Protein backbone atom coordinates (compact mmCIF):
# COMPACT_ATOMS: atom_id res chain seq x y z
CA UNK A 1 0.00 0.00 0.00
CA UNK A 2 2.84 2.39 0.89
CA UNK A 3 4.53 1.72 -2.46
CA UNK A 4 1.28 2.38 -4.33
CA UNK A 5 0.81 5.64 -2.42
CA UNK A 6 4.35 6.74 -3.25
CA UNK A 7 3.85 5.97 -6.92
CA UNK A 8 0.56 7.84 -6.93
CA UNK A 9 2.17 10.83 -5.19
CA UNK A 10 5.03 10.76 -7.69
CA UNK A 11 2.52 10.81 -10.54
CA UNK A 12 0.69 13.79 -9.04
CA UNK A 13 3.93 15.71 -8.51
CA UNK A 14 5.09 14.91 -12.03
CA UNK A 15 1.84 16.09 -13.55
CA UNK A 16 1.92 19.42 -11.74
CA UNK A 17 5.64 19.99 -12.31
CA UNK A 18 5.35 19.33 -16.06
CA UNK A 19 3.97 21.56 -18.73
CA UNK A 20 0.76 20.13 -20.10
CA UNK A 21 1.06 19.60 -23.85
CA UNK A 22 -2.30 19.76 -25.56
CA UNK A 23 -1.57 17.67 -28.61
CA UNK A 24 -0.52 19.92 -31.45
CA UNK A 25 -1.61 17.08 -33.73
CA UNK A 26 -5.21 18.08 -32.96
CA UNK A 27 -6.30 14.50 -32.35
CA UNK A 28 -4.86 13.24 -35.61
CA UNK A 29 -2.69 10.14 -35.95
CA UNK A 30 -3.87 8.63 -32.65
CA UNK A 31 -7.24 7.19 -33.58
CA UNK A 32 -9.00 6.59 -36.88
CA UNK A 33 -10.79 9.89 -37.29
CA UNK A 34 -11.68 9.27 -40.96
CA UNK A 35 -14.25 6.71 -42.05
CA UNK A 36 -12.99 6.05 -45.55
CA UNK A 37 -9.99 6.50 -47.82
CA UNK A 38 -9.35 6.93 -51.51
CA UNK A 39 -6.74 5.12 -53.58
CA UNK A 40 -4.82 6.44 -56.59
CA UNK A 41 -2.43 4.32 -58.67
CA UNK A 42 0.65 5.96 -60.20
CA UNK A 43 3.91 4.98 -61.83
CA UNK A 44 6.65 6.41 -59.64
CA UNK A 45 9.49 6.36 -62.19
CA UNK A 46 10.09 9.11 -64.75
CA UNK A 47 12.32 6.84 -66.83
CA UNK A 48 10.89 5.30 -70.02
CA UNK A 49 12.40 1.86 -69.37
CA UNK A 50 10.58 1.62 -66.04
CA UNK A 51 7.05 2.45 -67.19
CA UNK A 52 5.77 -0.95 -66.11
CA UNK A 53 3.74 -2.61 -63.35
CA UNK A 54 6.85 -3.20 -61.25
CA UNK A 55 7.08 0.55 -60.73
CA UNK A 56 3.52 1.30 -59.74
CA UNK A 57 2.23 2.21 -56.32
CA UNK A 58 -1.18 2.74 -54.75
CA UNK A 59 -1.48 5.98 -52.76
CA UNK A 60 -4.09 6.13 -49.99
CA UNK A 61 -5.46 9.41 -48.63
CA UNK A 62 -8.22 10.03 -46.06
CA UNK A 63 -11.51 11.17 -47.57
CA UNK A 64 -12.62 14.64 -46.57
CA UNK A 65 -9.25 15.63 -45.13
CA UNK A 66 -8.21 19.25 -45.63
CA UNK A 67 -4.94 19.17 -43.68
CA UNK A 68 -1.57 19.82 -45.27
CA UNK A 69 1.92 18.65 -44.29
CA UNK A 70 0.75 15.12 -43.57
CA UNK A 71 3.28 12.40 -42.67
CA UNK A 72 3.81 9.70 -45.28
CA UNK A 73 4.35 5.94 -44.83
CA UNK A 74 5.46 3.78 -47.76
CA UNK A 75 4.76 0.06 -47.27
CA UNK A 76 6.57 -2.68 -49.21
CA UNK A 77 5.04 -6.10 -49.84
CA UNK A 78 6.71 -9.45 -49.16
CA UNK A 79 7.02 -12.53 -51.34
CA UNK A 80 10.64 -13.76 -51.11
CA UNK A 81 11.58 -11.43 -54.01
CA UNK A 82 9.86 -13.93 -56.30
CA UNK A 83 6.22 -12.85 -56.05
CA UNK A 84 3.72 -10.67 -54.24
CA UNK A 85 2.35 -7.24 -55.09
CA UNK A 86 1.07 -3.97 -53.68
CA UNK A 87 -2.41 -5.48 -53.41
CA UNK A 88 -1.54 -8.11 -50.79
CA UNK A 89 -4.07 -8.02 -47.96
CA UNK A 90 -1.53 -6.85 -45.36
CA UNK A 91 -0.54 -3.97 -47.67
CA UNK A 92 -4.14 -2.83 -48.06
CA UNK A 93 -4.99 -3.19 -44.37
CA UNK A 94 -1.80 -1.41 -43.30
CA UNK A 95 -2.34 1.52 -45.65
CA UNK A 96 -6.01 1.93 -44.80
CA UNK A 97 -5.33 1.72 -41.05
CA UNK A 98 -2.87 4.61 -41.10
CA UNK A 99 -4.71 6.65 -43.75
CA UNK A 100 -7.81 6.63 -41.56
CA UNK A 101 -5.64 8.14 -38.82
CA UNK A 102 -4.68 11.02 -41.12
CA UNK A 103 -1.47 9.77 -42.70
CA UNK A 104 -0.84 9.53 -46.42
CA UNK A 105 0.20 5.96 -47.20
CA UNK A 106 1.47 4.13 -50.25
CA UNK A 107 1.82 0.45 -51.17
CA UNK A 108 4.61 0.00 -53.67
CA UNK A 109 5.60 -2.59 -56.27
CA UNK A 110 9.25 -3.25 -57.11
CA UNK A 111 11.37 -5.46 -59.35
CA UNK A 112 11.48 -9.17 -58.51
CA UNK A 113 13.85 -11.95 -59.49
CA UNK A 114 12.71 -13.66 -62.67
CA UNK A 115 14.54 -16.93 -62.02
CA UNK A 116 13.68 -18.80 -58.83
CA UNK A 117 16.47 -21.36 -59.12
CA UNK A 118 19.10 -18.74 -59.91
CA UNK A 119 17.90 -16.58 -57.03
CA UNK A 120 18.24 -19.41 -54.53
CA UNK A 121 21.65 -20.58 -55.76
CA UNK A 122 23.40 -17.33 -56.70
CA UNK A 123 24.37 -14.79 -54.05
CA UNK A 124 25.13 -12.35 -56.85
CA UNK A 125 21.50 -12.60 -57.95
CA UNK A 126 20.38 -12.16 -54.35
CA UNK A 127 22.44 -8.98 -53.86
CA UNK A 128 21.26 -7.53 -57.16
CA UNK A 129 17.62 -8.37 -56.49
CA UNK A 130 17.65 -6.78 -53.04
CA UNK A 131 19.52 -3.75 -54.35
CA UNK A 132 17.11 -3.31 -57.27
CA UNK A 133 14.25 -3.25 -54.78
CA UNK A 134 16.09 -0.67 -52.66
CA UNK A 135 16.68 1.48 -55.75
CA UNK A 136 13.01 1.20 -56.70
CA UNK A 137 11.72 2.26 -53.28
CA UNK A 138 14.23 5.11 -53.13
CA UNK A 139 12.76 6.35 -56.41
CA UNK A 140 9.28 6.11 -54.84
CA UNK A 141 10.46 8.28 -51.93
CA UNK A 142 11.91 10.77 -54.38
CA UNK A 143 8.66 10.73 -56.36
CA UNK A 144 6.85 12.23 -53.38
CA UNK A 145 9.54 14.86 -52.81
CA UNK A 146 9.49 15.76 -56.49
CA UNK A 147 5.70 16.11 -56.27
CA UNK A 148 6.10 18.21 -53.10
CA UNK A 149 8.12 20.79 -55.02
CA UNK A 150 5.73 20.67 -57.97
CA UNK A 151 2.40 21.43 -56.33
CA UNK A 152 2.34 18.84 -53.50
CA UNK A 153 -0.84 17.14 -54.73
CA UNK A 154 -0.71 14.70 -51.83
CA UNK A 155 -0.15 17.43 -49.21
CA UNK A 156 2.65 15.54 -47.47
CA UNK A 157 5.32 16.76 -45.09
CA UNK A 158 8.41 16.03 -47.17
CA UNK A 159 10.50 15.88 -43.97
CA UNK A 160 8.42 13.10 -42.42
CA UNK A 161 8.54 9.98 -44.58
CA UNK A 162 8.59 6.51 -43.04
CA UNK A 163 9.15 3.25 -44.90
CA UNK A 164 8.23 -0.26 -43.86
CA UNK A 165 7.18 -3.64 -45.06
CA UNK A 166 6.72 -7.31 -44.38
CA UNK A 167 9.21 -10.12 -45.02
CA UNK A 168 11.17 -9.27 -48.19
CA UNK A 169 9.59 -5.81 -48.08
CA UNK A 170 10.97 -5.30 -44.57
CA UNK A 171 14.39 -6.52 -45.73
CA UNK A 172 14.27 -3.89 -48.47
CA UNK A 173 13.24 -1.16 -46.02
CA UNK A 174 15.99 -1.99 -43.54
CA UNK A 175 18.72 -2.07 -46.19
CA UNK A 176 17.47 1.18 -47.70
CA UNK A 177 17.72 2.84 -44.30
CA UNK A 178 21.12 1.60 -43.19
CA UNK A 179 23.37 1.15 -46.23
CA UNK A 180 24.91 4.57 -46.71
CA UNK A 181 27.90 3.74 -48.86
CA UNK A 182 28.58 1.28 -51.66
CA UNK A 183 31.72 0.43 -49.70
CA UNK A 184 29.45 -1.19 -47.09
CA UNK A 185 28.81 -3.94 -49.63
CA UNK A 186 31.24 -6.82 -50.22
CA UNK A 187 34.08 -6.10 -52.61
CA UNK A 188 34.71 -9.79 -53.09
CA UNK A 189 33.97 -11.27 -56.46
CA UNK A 190 30.70 -12.95 -57.21
CA UNK A 191 30.79 -16.47 -58.72
CA UNK A 192 31.16 -15.01 -62.23
CA UNK A 193 34.07 -12.85 -61.15
CA UNK A 194 32.24 -9.51 -60.79
CA UNK A 195 32.60 -7.36 -57.66
CA UNK A 196 29.30 -6.80 -55.83
CA UNK A 197 30.25 -3.14 -55.42
CA UNK A 198 30.89 -2.89 -59.15
CA UNK A 199 27.51 -4.46 -59.89
CA UNK A 200 25.73 -1.87 -57.74
CA UNK A 201 27.76 0.99 -59.22
CA UNK A 202 26.86 -0.18 -62.71
CA UNK A 203 23.17 0.05 -61.79
CA UNK A 204 23.22 3.66 -60.67
CA UNK A 205 25.04 3.37 -57.36
CA UNK A 206 23.34 4.03 -54.03
CA UNK A 207 20.39 5.88 -55.53
CA UNK A 208 19.84 3.58 -58.50
CA UNK A 209 18.76 4.59 -62.00
CA UNK A 210 14.97 4.57 -61.58
CA UNK A 211 14.61 8.33 -61.81
CA UNK A 212 13.31 11.41 -59.96
CA UNK A 213 16.93 12.52 -59.74
CA UNK A 214 17.87 15.58 -57.74
CA UNK A 215 15.56 14.78 -54.82
CA UNK A 216 16.44 13.16 -51.52
CA UNK A 217 15.57 9.58 -50.55
CA UNK A 218 16.13 10.30 -46.86
CA UNK A 219 13.62 8.75 -44.49
CA UNK A 220 12.47 9.41 -40.93
CA UNK A 221 12.07 5.86 -39.63
CA UNK A 222 11.72 2.17 -40.44
CA UNK A 223 8.89 -0.31 -39.79
CA UNK A 224 9.95 -3.96 -40.05
CA UNK A 225 7.55 -6.91 -39.96
CA UNK A 226 9.62 -10.13 -39.94
CA UNK A 227 12.54 -8.30 -41.52
CA UNK A 228 16.32 -8.55 -41.35
CA UNK A 229 19.65 -7.09 -42.38
CA UNK A 230 22.70 -8.77 -43.86
CA UNK A 231 25.14 -7.06 -41.46
CA UNK A 232 23.87 -5.47 -38.20
CA UNK A 233 26.97 -3.24 -37.95
CA UNK A 234 25.67 -1.30 -40.93
CA UNK A 235 23.29 0.31 -38.44
CA UNK A 236 25.08 3.32 -36.94
CA UNK A 237 24.31 6.21 -34.59
CA UNK A 238 22.27 9.16 -35.84
CA UNK A 239 20.43 6.97 -38.33
CA UNK A 240 16.64 6.51 -38.59
CA UNK A 241 14.84 4.85 -35.67
CA UNK A 242 13.32 1.42 -36.21
CA UNK A 243 10.31 -0.45 -34.86
CA UNK A 244 10.03 -4.20 -35.50
CA UNK A 245 7.63 -7.08 -34.98
CA UNK A 246 8.92 -10.65 -35.30
CA UNK A 247 8.10 -14.18 -34.26
CA UNK A 248 11.00 -15.84 -32.45
CA UNK A 249 10.28 -19.19 -34.12
CA UNK A 250 10.49 -17.75 -37.64
CA UNK A 251 12.14 -20.29 -39.95
CA UNK A 252 12.04 -18.10 -43.07
CA UNK A 253 13.86 -15.06 -41.72
CA UNK A 254 15.53 -16.09 -38.49
CA UNK A 255 14.91 -14.03 -35.36
CA UNK A 256 18.70 -14.06 -34.89
CA UNK A 257 21.12 -14.81 -37.76
CA UNK A 258 20.88 -17.61 -40.31
CA UNK A 259 20.83 -18.09 -44.09
CA UNK A 260 17.61 -16.75 -45.56
CA UNK A 261 14.84 -19.33 -46.06
CA UNK A 262 17.02 -21.75 -44.07
CA UNK A 263 18.89 -22.56 -47.32
CA UNK A 264 22.71 -22.61 -47.05
CA UNK A 265 23.23 -20.96 -50.46
CA UNK A 266 21.17 -17.92 -49.48
CA UNK A 267 22.84 -14.90 -47.87
CA UNK A 268 22.86 -14.72 -44.10
CA UNK A 269 20.13 -12.50 -42.71
CA UNK A 270 20.13 -11.21 -39.16
CA UNK A 271 16.61 -10.77 -37.87
CA UNK A 272 14.97 -8.43 -35.42
CA UNK A 273 16.73 -9.68 -32.30
CA UNK A 274 20.15 -8.90 -33.77
CA UNK A 275 18.94 -5.61 -35.26
CA UNK A 276 17.68 -4.43 -31.90
CA UNK A 277 20.75 -5.66 -30.05
CA UNK A 278 22.74 -3.38 -32.36
CA UNK A 279 20.39 -0.41 -32.00
CA UNK A 280 20.43 -0.80 -28.21
CA UNK A 281 24.23 -0.99 -28.20
CA UNK A 282 24.60 2.28 -30.11
CA UNK A 283 21.71 4.09 -28.42
CA UNK A 284 19.47 4.36 -31.48
CA UNK A 285 15.76 4.81 -30.82
CA UNK A 286 14.01 1.49 -31.39
CA UNK A 287 11.35 -0.88 -30.16
CA UNK A 288 10.62 -4.56 -30.72
CA UNK A 289 7.47 -6.63 -30.30
CA UNK A 290 8.18 -10.37 -30.14
CA UNK A 291 5.61 -13.07 -30.77
CA UNK A 292 6.80 -15.92 -28.59
CA UNK A 293 6.66 -19.09 -30.67
CA UNK A 294 5.45 -17.01 -33.61
CA UNK A 295 6.13 -18.06 -37.18
CA UNK A 296 7.02 -15.91 -40.19
CA UNK A 297 3.64 -15.26 -41.78
CA UNK A 298 1.65 -13.75 -38.90
CA UNK A 299 1.05 -10.63 -41.06
CA UNK A 300 -0.18 -12.47 -44.16
CA UNK A 301 -3.92 -12.40 -43.36
CA UNK A 302 -3.93 -8.74 -42.43
CA UNK A 303 -6.65 -7.64 -40.02
CA UNK A 304 -8.06 -11.17 -39.89
CA UNK A 305 -5.15 -12.07 -37.59
CA UNK A 306 -5.19 -10.36 -34.20
CA UNK A 307 -1.38 -10.32 -34.18
CA UNK A 308 -1.39 -8.05 -37.22
CA UNK A 309 -3.82 -5.66 -35.55
CA UNK A 310 -1.63 -5.66 -32.45
CA UNK A 311 1.40 -4.92 -34.62
CA UNK A 312 -0.35 -1.94 -36.25
CA UNK A 313 -1.20 -0.48 -32.86
CA UNK A 314 2.37 -1.09 -31.66
CA UNK A 315 3.83 0.72 -34.67
CA UNK A 316 1.35 3.58 -34.34
CA UNK A 317 2.36 4.15 -30.72
CA UNK A 318 6.04 4.16 -31.68
CA UNK A 319 5.93 6.63 -34.55
CA UNK A 320 3.35 9.03 -33.10
CA UNK A 321 5.83 10.79 -30.75
CA UNK A 322 8.21 11.20 -33.69
CA UNK A 323 5.78 13.36 -35.66
CA UNK A 324 6.71 17.06 -35.93
CA UNK A 325 3.37 18.12 -34.48
CA UNK A 326 4.53 16.61 -31.17
CA UNK A 327 7.98 18.18 -31.13
CA UNK A 328 9.15 20.97 -28.87
CA UNK A 329 12.58 22.55 -28.99
CA UNK A 330 14.47 23.97 -26.03
CA UNK A 331 16.92 26.35 -27.69
CA UNK A 332 18.87 26.90 -24.47
CA UNK A 333 20.18 23.35 -24.76
CA UNK A 334 21.54 23.82 -28.27
CA UNK A 335 25.16 25.00 -28.27
CA UNK A 336 25.80 24.83 -32.00
CA UNK A 337 23.87 26.12 -34.98
CA UNK A 338 24.56 22.75 -36.64
CA UNK A 339 23.15 20.71 -33.77
CA UNK A 340 19.93 18.85 -34.53
CA UNK A 341 17.99 17.83 -31.46
CA UNK A 342 16.49 14.36 -31.88
CA UNK A 343 14.42 11.99 -29.78
CA UNK A 344 16.42 8.86 -28.94
CA UNK A 345 13.91 7.10 -26.68
CA UNK A 346 10.42 7.36 -25.23
CA UNK A 347 9.15 5.63 -22.10
CA UNK A 348 6.32 5.87 -19.62
CA UNK A 349 7.03 7.30 -16.16
CA UNK A 350 8.32 3.99 -14.84
CA UNK A 351 10.93 3.79 -17.57
CA UNK A 352 9.09 1.13 -19.56
CA UNK A 353 9.33 1.35 -23.35
CA UNK A 354 5.93 -0.22 -23.83
CA UNK A 355 2.74 0.69 -22.12
CA UNK A 356 0.92 3.85 -21.18
CA UNK A 357 0.60 5.39 -17.74
CA UNK A 358 -1.91 8.20 -17.58
CA UNK A 359 -1.02 9.48 -21.08
CA UNK A 360 2.30 10.72 -19.69
CA UNK A 361 5.35 10.12 -21.85
CA UNK A 362 9.01 10.85 -21.17
CA UNK A 363 10.97 12.00 -24.24
CA UNK A 364 14.76 11.44 -24.10
CA UNK A 365 16.87 13.59 -26.46
CA UNK A 366 20.36 13.26 -27.87
CA UNK A 367 21.48 16.38 -25.98
CA UNK A 368 20.85 14.66 -22.65
CA UNK A 369 17.58 16.42 -21.86
CA UNK A 370 14.33 14.73 -20.91
CA UNK A 371 10.91 16.24 -21.44
CA UNK A 372 7.75 15.13 -19.68
CA UNK A 373 4.57 15.52 -21.72
CA UNK A 374 0.93 14.83 -21.09
CA UNK A 375 -0.64 13.98 -24.43
CA UNK A 376 -4.33 14.83 -24.41
CA UNK A 377 -6.20 13.30 -27.33
The secondary structure of the chain, three-state, reads: CHHHHHHHHHHHHHHHHCCCEECCCCCCCCCCCCCCEEEEEEECCCCHHHCCHHHEEEEEEECCCCCCCEEEEEEECCCCCCCCCCCCHHHHHHHHHHHCCCCEEEEECCCCCCCHHHHHHCHHHHHHHHHHHHHHHHHHHHHHHHHHCCCCCCCEEEEEEEEEEECHHHHHHHHHHHCCCHHHCCCCECCCCCEHHHHHHHCCHHHCCCCCCCCCCCCCEEEEECCCECCHHHCCCCCCCEEEEEECCCCCCCCCEEEHHHCCCCCEEECHHHHHHHHHHHCCCEEEEEECCCCCCCCCCHHHCHHHHHHHHHHHHHHHHHCHHHCCCCHHHCCCCCCCCCEEEEECCCCCCCCCCCCEEEEEECCCCEEEEEEEC
- Residue 359 resides in a domain: no
- Residue 362 resides in a domain: no
Look up the pTM and report it. Answer: 0.82
CATH of the domain at 119: 3.40.50.1820
The reported pLDDT for the residue numbered 336 is 39
- Residue 37 resides in a domain: yes
Number of domains forming the structure of the chain: 1
**pLDDT, tens only, 251-262:** 999 999 999 998
Q: How confident is the model at residue 9 (pLDDT cuts 50, 70, 90)?
A: very low
The reported pLDDT for the residue numbered 13 is 35
The reported pLDDT for the residue numbered 15 is 36
- Residue 348 resides in a domain: no
**The domain containing residue 246 runs over which residues?**
33-327
- Residue 61 resides in a domain: yes
Residue 56 pLDDT more than 70?
yes
- Residue 25 resides in a domain: no
The reported pLDDT for the residue numbered 342 is 61
**pLDDT, tens only, 83-98:** 999 999 999 999 999 9
- Residue 161 resides in a domain: yes
- Residue 15 resides in a domain: no
Residue 7 pLDDT more than 50?
no
Stretch 138-159: mean pLDDT: 97
Q: Which helix (H) or strand (E) holds 258?
A: strand 257-259
Amino acid sequence: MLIKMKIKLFIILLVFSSSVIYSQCNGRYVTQIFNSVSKTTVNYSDQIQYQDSYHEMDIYTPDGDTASNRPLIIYIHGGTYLGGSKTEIDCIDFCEYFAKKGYVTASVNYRLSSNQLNFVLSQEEQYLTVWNSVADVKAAVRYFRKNYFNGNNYRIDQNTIFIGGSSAGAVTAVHLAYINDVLDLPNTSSPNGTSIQALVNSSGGLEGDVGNNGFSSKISGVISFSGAINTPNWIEVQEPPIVSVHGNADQTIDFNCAPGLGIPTVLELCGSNEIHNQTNNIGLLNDLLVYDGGDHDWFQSGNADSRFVQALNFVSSFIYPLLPCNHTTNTSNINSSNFEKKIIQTTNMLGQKNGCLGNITLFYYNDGTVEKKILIN
